[in-house]
Structure 1
Amino acid sequence: MEKIKIVFLGNSHISLAALEPLMKDQRFKIIAVFTTIDQKIGRNHSKLLPSPVALFAKKNHLNLIKTANINKDIDKLKDLDFDLLVTLSFGQILAPEVLKLAKLINLNIHASLLPKGRGANPIQQAILEGEKETGFSLMEMIEEMDAGDYFYQAKIKIADDDTYLKLEEKIANLIKLKITDLLIKYVDQKLTRTKQEQNKVSYWGKISPSLQIIDFNKSTIEIYNKIRALNPKPKAKFIFKNIEIFVLEAKYKLLKKEQIKEKIGTFLKIEKEGIFFQTIDGIIIFTKIIIPGKKAQYVSEIVNGKSIFKN
């Protein structure tokens, strides 16, 4: 059997859940890997940070092409002979001209159960929305974002204590397990094409800085979900005594209306269990925080020392 030639597009750590097994499987040949340009970091932006995909491709001697805009670099794609264009967490919308280049099809691995969860950050948004399950969809890329037919979906449960990082790892493991056989089945015409139901479409947008702010007027569960969804980045936060504090972990207690005695947003107490705040329908307890100038700490580690939470 002739090897299936793939051009892979991806940027983040989860992209490796597809790239690595495809590289190792002798039925495929990775013709090229496209990823974003190195990010400027550090003081005065003096250092360059390659994407996880760039680091992996370089380590494994793959044909690596960095691009800030693949549509402007289309000539680099036109020079390649490939059967499938496969993307996972690439973050760029492909122009119609790019979508015409693969011999067989352009496939995207999207980390939600389409048509629910089109758009950016689907893993974080699933937690924010309080979803009980998620997964990934293997879909055809068309001009409209995340609107193509899908060929396969895999589902997993979202646990009550799943953070963004934990859930991403679960989905990555699922992709890693399935992707090679799925692409073989597609080439062998053994996958069924399913159209997305338009009346069930939902869009999940980017995580904006304003979304990081904890609003104590929201339900306790919404606050708890926000903390999980934004851990480890960009992190939920609140202001206390004019100091910005990031929250990494929490737990909660729901209360009946008659049990709520304090004003919403009131700081109640700090003890070994955590930092207690009144919400609209209960108590949110911050158990792991970051105070400016310090590393992440469990509240149990700081409760006996000096603290802005003590008078």
Structure 2
Amino acid sequence: MRVVFMGTPDIAATCLKRLIETDAQIVGVYTKPDKPKNRGMKMEMSDVKKVALEANLPVYQPTTFKDDAVYEELKALAPDVIAVVAYGKILPQRVLDIAKLGCVNIHASILPELRGSGPVQWAILNGMNETGVTAMYMAAEMDAGDIIEIRKTPIEPFENAQSLLDRLALIGSELLCDTLKAMENGTTTRTPQAHDKATYAPMLTKELCPIDWTKNSRQIIDHVRGLDPWPVATTQLDGKRFKIYAVRPTEKTTDQAPGTPIALTKQGLEIACGDGEVLLITQLQADGGKRMAAPDYFRGHPIAL
């Protein structure tokens, strides 16, 4: 079966690695163009491109599919299936119509919940206990196609977005390969989504970062782990800005105002939050500094309590 793969970040790279191990004939890999990174502005290729080049697969990096030459180039590959995983580009209908057996998308949520670009992070931010991966036929509307299969998994109480993403990538890679085999055999099923039950997971921005200490401890814990590793929760302590990477609940209560530092212990910095609860900051990073354990940082930088 001739497959064109489209994807960009690490979850897509994991799926491509697994697909390479199968008997699928990967005739082309599409990924977003290289982009400058960090202060040196050195051009960096996507995770998918790195995997494709290592496997000597042809790589295509168009900026748009509206260009007729780009469309014809893809059409000439004559794919039976186009497999899409976190590509980051909208595919016009004429592209969706190229593949003989259809275009399949792997999406890291239980659709129709959390359509959009940040389903893994928003599952945690929303305090959900379960998520999953959906294989679906692609439609013109984002993440709205007919469902082929859903595989679910619990969200562990303290895992962050990166660890959850890593687990979902493995689930998604197996689901993709199983789905392509079913498409080849003509055994897939199609279940229309309940569009009236759709929820959305918009792109993450740095405006989400500041912690609202008036929320309860569980909400703040979900906020911190949902934004790790990017864009990372932040707060002000002693007039300084910190990135907060890990917090833990305590059994303590307080009448101090939310956001007030209460005590520094061997485990971390205790902070008052909503409902009179107390949270423990265990890992942080000062602006311009390194990520480190909270007790280690405050040992050298005392905080007013």
**Distance between the aligned counterparts of 2:15 and 2:139, measured in 1?**
20
Q: Who is 1:130 aligned against?
A: 127
Q: Where in structure 2 are the equivalents of 1:259-278 lying within 5 Å?
A: 259-278=253-272
Comparing 230-239 and 298-307, the one that deviates more: 298-307
Equivalent pair of 1:5/1:29 in contact (CA under 8 Å):
yes
Equivalent position amino acid for 1:36 in 2: K
**Distance between the aligned counterparts of 2:137 and 2:60, measured in 1?**
23
**Distance between the aligned counterparts of 2:259 and 2:209, measured in 1?**
16
Equivalent pair of 2:144/2:195 in contact (CA under 8 Å):
no
Deviations 1:23-78 (A, max 9, x none): 1212x100100001111123262x10100011111111001011232443323212
**Distance between the aligned counterparts of 1:83 and 1:182, measured in 2?**
13
**Distance between the aligned counterparts of 2:175 and 2:145, measured in 1?**
20
Comparing 174-183 and 123-132, the one that deviates more: 174-183
Q: Who is 1:224 aligned against?
A: 221
Equivalent pair of 1:71/1:94 in contact (CA under 8 Å):
no
CA drift of 1:254 comes to 6.1
CA drift of 1:157 comes to 0.6
Comparing 166-175 and 262-271, the one that deviates more: 262-271
**Distance between the aligned counterparts of 2:251 and 2:76, measured in 1?**
60
Q: Who is 2:279 aligned against?
A: 284
Equivalent position amino acid for 1:104 in 2: L
Equivalent pair of 2:269/2:295 in contact (CA under 8 Å):
no
| TM superposition score normalised by structure 1 | 0.92
Structure 2 segments unaligned to the other structure (5+ residues): none
SS in 2 for 1:304: helix
**Distance between the aligned counterparts of 2:293 and 2:180, measured in 1?**
44
| TM superposition score normalised by structure 2 | 0.94
Equivalent pair of 2:244/2:283 in contact (CA under 8 Å):
yes
**Distance between the aligned counterparts of 1:177 and 1:141, measured in 2?**
19
Structure-2 change in CA distance of 1:305 and 1:37 (3 Å): same
Structure-2 change in CA distance of 1:264 and 1:155 (3 Å): same
Structure-2 change in CA distance of 1:58 and 1:103 (3 Å): same
Q: Who is 2:295 aligned against?
A: 300
Comparing 51-60 and 217-226, the one that deviates more: 217-226
Alignment equivalent of 1:18, drawn from 15, 19, 23: 15
Q: Who is 1:197 aligned against?
A: 194
Comparing 11-20 and 235-244, the one that deviates more: 235-244
Q: Where in structure 2 are the equivalents of 1:58-69 lying within 5 Å?
A: 58-69=53-64
Alignment equivalent of 2:182, drawn from 181, 185, 207: 185
Q: Who is 1:78 aligned against?
A: 75
**Distance between the aligned counterparts of 1:178 and 1:150, measured in 2?**
12
**Distance between the aligned counterparts of 2:6 and 2:196, measured in 1?**
30
Equivalent pair of 1:224/1:250 in contact (CA under 8 Å):
yes
Equivalent position amino acid for 1:61 in 2: N
Check if 1:249 corresponds to 2:246: yes
RMSD across aligned positions (CA): 1.6
Structure 1 segments unaligned to the other structure (5+ residues): none
Q: Who is 2:38 aligned against?
A: 42
**Distance between the aligned counterparts of 1:234 and 1:227, measured in 2?**
10
**Distance between the aligned counterparts of 2:213 and 2:94, measured in 1?**
48
Equivalent pair of 2:136/2:147 in contact (CA under 8 Å):
yes
SS in 1 for 2:20: helix
**Distance between the aligned counterparts of 1:136 and 1:97, measured in 2?**
26
**Distance between the aligned counterparts of 1:235 and 1:37, measured in 2?**
25
Alignment equivalent of 2:51, drawn from 41, 49, 56: 56
**Distance between the aligned counterparts of 1:310 and 1:76, measured in 2?**
63
Q: Who is 2:29 aligned against?
A: 33
Deviations 1:229-270 (A, max 9, x none): 111111110122332100111101366xxx541112212122
Deviations 1:79-109 (A, max 9, x none): 2111001100111111112111111101100
Q: How many residues align?
A: 302
Question: Identity percentage over the alignment?
Answer: 28
Equivalent position amino acid for 2:177 in 1: T
Q: Where in structure 2 are the equivalents of 1:143-182 lying within 5 Å?
A: 143-182=140-179
